[in-house]
C-alpha cells in the first residue's frame, strides 16, 4: 500500500535515528575504534542490515523512504525499483511493493557464467529506475550500480538510502556530477543528536564521536596504523 502520510523531514530523521538506536544498529566506541575495510579507524559503526529482522521498524522506515522519494522526486517518477547487491535488495523489494512497481537488483560485478548478467529481473530501455540501498558513505559504490543500470538503456537519476553518513565533503556533488540525486532519511548528525537526547552513551564517547564527525579525515589520520595510507 502506498503511504499517504508525509511527516516533516526533521521528524523522519529523528524517528529513524531513534529506531536505529533502539535495535542497537548504532555502535560508538572511541576507546577501541572500529577498523574499516580500508584499514582506517572509526569510533562509529552502523548496521542497517539488522532492520530486516524488526517488522514494525522495517515497515515504518520503508514508509518513510517511500514518501521521501515521492515528495522529492514525484509521485509518477519511476517505472522500476532496483536494489544494490546485497544490502539494498530487501529494501528495494519493500519500496517496490509500496509503490506498486517492478523490482530488480544490480550485482556488484557480472556473475561470471550463464548470461554474465549484472541486472537480475526485467529492466527495459527507457525505464526510469530508482536505485535503493541501505546506506551511503561517500557515494562511490552507487556510481557503479548506476552505470550498470544505464547500460541496459534504462535511466537512473535517483538513489534512496536509509542512512547517509553526511560527513564527507563532496558526496552529493559527486553524485550530482554523475546525474544522480541522493535521497536519505537520516545522517550521523541526527543519530548523535538522538543519542544525546536519550543519554544512550556516556558524555566522553559522544564528545569523541562529535570530534570525528566534525573532522573525520583528521581524526582517522591521527589514529591510523602506520602501514595504512588509503582513505575509506
For 97, other C-beta atoms within 10 Å of its C-beta total 15
Contact 41, 232 (CB under 8 A): no
pLDDT single digits (tens) 11-25: 999 999 999 999 999
Contact 69, 84 (CB under 8 A): no
Asked if residue 224 belongs to a domain, the reply is no
Asked if residue 222 belongs to a domain, the reply is no
* pLDDT for the residue numbered 135: 95
Model confidence band, residue 5 (pLDDT cutoffs 50, 70, 90): confident
Residue 86 clears pLDDT 50, i.e. is over it: yes
Binding-site residue numbers are 107-108, 111, 133-141
Residue 231 clears pLDDT 50, i.e. is over it: no
pTM above 0.75, yes or no: yes
Taking residues 28-36, what's their average pLDDT? 90
* pLDDT for the residue numbered 47: 96
Model confidence band, residue 227 (pLDDT cutoffs 50, 70, 90): low
The H or E element spanning position 205 is: helix 203-214
Binding-site residue numbers for 5-phospho-alpha-D-ribose 1-diphosphate are 107-108, 111, 133-141
Asked if residue 3 belongs to a domain, the reply is no
Asked if residue 122 belongs to a domain, the reply is yes
Domain CATH for 167: 3.40.50.2020
> Comparing 124 with 116, which gets the higher pLDDT?
124
Strands 103-106 and 181-187: unpaired
Residue 83 CB partners (closer than 8 Å, separation 6+): 89, 90, 91, 92, 93, 103, 104, 105, 106, 131, 132, 133
Binding-site residue numbers for orotate are 137
Asked if residue 140 belongs to a domain, the reply is yes
Asked if residue 99 belongs to a domain, the reply is yes
* pLDDT for the residue numbered 129: 98
For residue 43, the 8-state DSSP code is S
Asked if residue 4 belongs to a domain, the reply is no
Asked if residue 231 belongs to a domain, the reply is no
Cell of 128: 526510469
Beta bridge partners of 181: 158
Residue 232 clears pLDDT 50, i.e. is over it: no
- Dihedral sign for Cα 188, 190, 196, 201, please: negative
Domain that holds residue 48: 9-217
* pLDDT for the residue numbered 114: 60
The alpha-carbon radius of gyration of the chain (Å, integer) is 18
pLDDT single digits (tens) 131-184: 999 999 988 889 999 999 999 999 999 999 999 999 999 999 999 999 999 999
The total number of structural domains in the chain stands at 1
Amino acid at each position: 500500500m502506498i503511504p499517504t502520510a508525509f511527516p516533516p523531514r526533521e521528524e523522519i530523521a529523528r524517528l529513524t535515528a531513534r529506531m536505529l538506536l533502539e535495535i542497537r544498529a548504532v555502535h560508538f566506541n572511541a576507546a577501541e575504534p572500529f577498523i574499516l575495510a580500508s584499514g582506517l579507524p572509526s569510533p562509529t559503526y552502523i548496521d542497517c542490515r539488522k532492520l530486516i529482522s524488526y517488522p514494525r521498524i522495517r515497515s515504518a522506515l520503508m514508509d518513510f523512504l517511500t514518501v521521501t522519494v515521492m515528495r522529492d522526486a514525484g509521485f509518477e517518477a519511476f517505472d522500476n525499483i532496483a536494489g544494490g547487491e546485497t544490502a539494498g535488495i530487501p529494501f528495494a523489494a519493500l519500496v517496490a511493493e509500496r509503490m506498486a512497481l517492478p523490482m530488480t537488483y544490480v550485482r556488484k560485478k557480472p556473475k561470471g557464467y550463464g548470461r554474465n548478467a549484472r541486472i537480475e529481473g526485467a529492466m527495459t530501455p527507457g525505464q526510469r529506475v530508482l536505485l535503493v540501498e541501505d546506506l551511503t558513505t561517500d557515494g562511490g559504490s552507487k556510481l557503479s550500480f548506476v552505470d550498470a543500470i544505464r547500460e541496459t538503456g534504462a535511466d537512473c537519476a535517483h538513489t534512496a538510502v536509509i542512512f547517509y553518513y553526511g560527513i564527507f565533503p563532496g558526496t552529493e556533488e559527486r553524485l550530482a556530477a554523475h546525474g544522480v540525486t541522493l535521497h536519505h532519511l537520516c545522517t550521523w548528525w541526527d543519530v548523535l543528536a538522538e543519542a544525546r537526547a536519550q543519554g544512550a552513551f556516556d558524555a566522553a564517547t559522544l564528545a569523541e564521536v562529535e570530534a570525528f564527525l566534525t573532522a573525520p579525515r583528521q581524526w582517522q589520520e591521527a589514529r591510523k596504523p602506520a602501514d595504512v595510507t588509503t582513505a575509506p
